Amino acid sequence: MPKQRSLRTDERTRGEPSKSARTRERILDAAAKVLNRNGYAGTRLSDIAALAQVQAPALYYYFTSREELIEEVVMLGMARAQTHVSETVAALSEDATGLDRICAAVGAHLEVVLRLSDYASAAIRNGPQLPADLRERQLVGQRAYGDVWRKLIDEARAAGEIHPDLDPRAARMLIIGGLNWATEWWNPNRGSLRTVITTAQLLTRQGLAAPRQDP
């Protein structure tokens, strides 16, 4: 552990990443790919080392255990998903409606888990497989991400844009659950990401929208 804390201090204070920092990042990138592909039970340090192009014993210079390495991947994945969604929504114009903001979040979530980040995809796909203690820590980040969605739905509901018969919590869980399941079935050879995003946004908008008021 002391070596790891020292390395992180180096990363914060140096303008350019050190060789050790670059190697550590390469190991994390490899771990995210292996975890995303093989799942928690099938993730082996030897596979990570081979993909990262380091000797397997070298992994222990950066991480004290397989679990510590996987935990960092999962935590980074949740953080990256939340950051991408939050930044996408924040970039919308001020006249965007509540439903516009929710649909932007839908698109951003699918972008980050299906194309932009192996970390985010690995975190979402492997959450239920994690050991109880690691799962509990992962849920902290997951709940923080859920709060982003809770706020979006609550704001749209307060503005009268959400169907009054919908339960906000159930709606939120069904939307996020459906989006997360896309990591299991989406195949880029059978449909573009843009098509999947458009479909998900249409389903979300029409499913949440309050009834139109005739003049």
What CATH number is given to the structural domain containing 211? 1.10.357.10
Residue 36 domain boundaries: 1-64
With a cut of 50, list the residues of the chain below it in pLDDT.
1-13
4 lies in the same domain as 19: yes
77 lies in the same domain as 49: no
For residues 146 and 179, give the distance between their C-alpha atoms in angstroms, rounded to a whole number: 13
Q: What angle do CA 194, 180, 205 make, to 5 degrees?
A: 55
Q: What angle do CA 49, 111, 15 make, to 5 degrees?
A: 55
120 HSE (CA, 13 A, CB side)? 22
75 lies in the same domain as 180: yes
Q: Which amino acid is at 47?
A: D
| Tally of structural domains, the chain | 2
What CATH number is given to the structural domain containing 47? 1.10.10.60
Q: What pTM did the predictor assign?
A: 0.85
40 lies in the same domain as 96: no
Question: Which pLDDT belongs to residue 191?
Answer: 84
Q: Which amino acid is at 5?
A: R
Residue range 27-75, pLDDT digits in tens: 999 999 999 999 999 999 999 999 999 998 889 999 999 999 999 999 9
Phi/psi-derived region of residue 191, left when phi > 0, alpha when psi is between -120 and 50, beta in every other case:
left
